[in-house]
Structure 1
Amino acid sequence: MTPGPLRSAAALFGLVALALTACASPGTTTPDAVSPSTAATATTAPPTTATSAPTQKDVMKIEIRISGQLFTATLADSAASRDLVAQLPVTVEMVDHGGVEKTGPLPSPLSLEAQPAGADPDVGDLGYYAPGSHVVLYYGDQSYFTGIVVLGRMEGDAAERIAEMDGPVTATLAIAGS
């Protein structure tokens, strides 16, 4: 071969590489060099995520005492939950509503920052009813309702035990272990 055809082949290979680079989809990696050996080794790294497992400090547990019984709840990390913790310890006079929940007024309203307009709490959830500034213990099936904020979850058989408590109760909420 003469130098002319080599130069033409190299120019053609460069144009093909340039065309492939221009047509590449966003987010794909193209080789920096135009040699077949480097092109074969180029890869695209999988995307990374910035998620991490919750640490011990992210988990906030509270105790709820009613009629000599102790219940534990784990709070979600939210502005409303942090506001609740700031009010603890607190004693709340609670009444039954609809055979599915016990509710009672808190001394101060909780933040609704980053909360949806309402929620559909599950049996065993600890909630907040914003229009009345009430803490709520769900022991029955409550459907979606505007103004409900789920603060966390009661542990074990708490919902069943609370369901067995007839009438009004006095509940004391405190940070677990305090």
Structure 2
Amino acid sequence: MRIQISIGGERLTATLSEGAAVRDLVAQLPVTVYMVDHGQFEKTGRLPSPLSREGQPDGADPDVGDVGYYAPGNDLVLYYGDQSYFPGIVILGRLDGDAAQRLARLDGPVRARVEARDD
């Protein structure tokens, strides 16, 4: 499944993987998430409802360009920099193309509109 993320004047796309957490995210779409920079390597924002962690490891080591979920904070996370392994992270998918680089150029808090794509 693909999603579109409209954020700070940019339209980014991402491809989601399979799993219970992804199904829970898709069920919440469309959703607006208010995101902030965290650690100069990710944008994070609280989702309306928690996502399932069924079948997921205790944590993950996300790559630049990953779309993730931080369970303890109930946050959607867009990684534009390097994050090492951290407990509570679930990888949901990947940003497409140069989306991570474009995301890195957006300073400060942003409003992200996340919607399913038909293609």
TM-score tier, shorter chain, comes to over 0.9
* 1:68 to partner: Cα distance: 2.2
Structure with bigger helix share is: 1
1:146 aligned onto 2:87: yes
**Secondary structure in structure 2 of the residue aligned to 1:94:** strand
Query: TM-score, normalized by length of structure 1?
Result: 0.66
Larger Rg: 1
Deviations 1:71-102 (A, max 9, x none): 11110101000100000000000000000000
* 1:69 to partner: Cα distance: 1.2
Spell out the pairing of 1:16-165 with structure 2 (5 A cutoff). Answer: 60-165=1-106
Quick one: which amino acid aligns to residue 161 of structure 1? R
Query: TM-score, normalized by length of structure 2?
Result: 0.98
**Secondary structure in structure 2 of the residue aligned to 1:170:** strand
The aligned length equals: 119
Gaps of 5+ in 2: none
Structure with bigger strand share is: 2
> Structure 1 69/177 Cα, relative in aligned 2: closer, same or farther at 3 Å?
farther
Residues of 2 paired with 1:69 and 1:140: CA distance? 18
Gaps of 5+ in 1: 1-59
Q: Which residue of 1 aligns with 2:107?
A: 166
Name the % identity. Answer: 68
Runs (4 or more) in structure 1 with deviation over 2 Å come to none
Quick one: which amino acid aligns to residue 70 of structure 1? R
**Secondary structure in structure 2 of the residue aligned to 1:121:** coil
Residues of 2 paired with 1:159 and 1:81: CA distance? 20
> More relative contact order in 1 or in 2 (CA 8 Å, sep 6+)?
2
Residues of 2 paired with 1:177 and 1:105: CA distance? 25
Quick one: which amino acid aligns to residue 68 of structure 2? G
Quick one: which amino acid aligns to residue 110 of structure 1? L
**Secondary structure in structure 1 of the residue aligned to 2:97:** coil
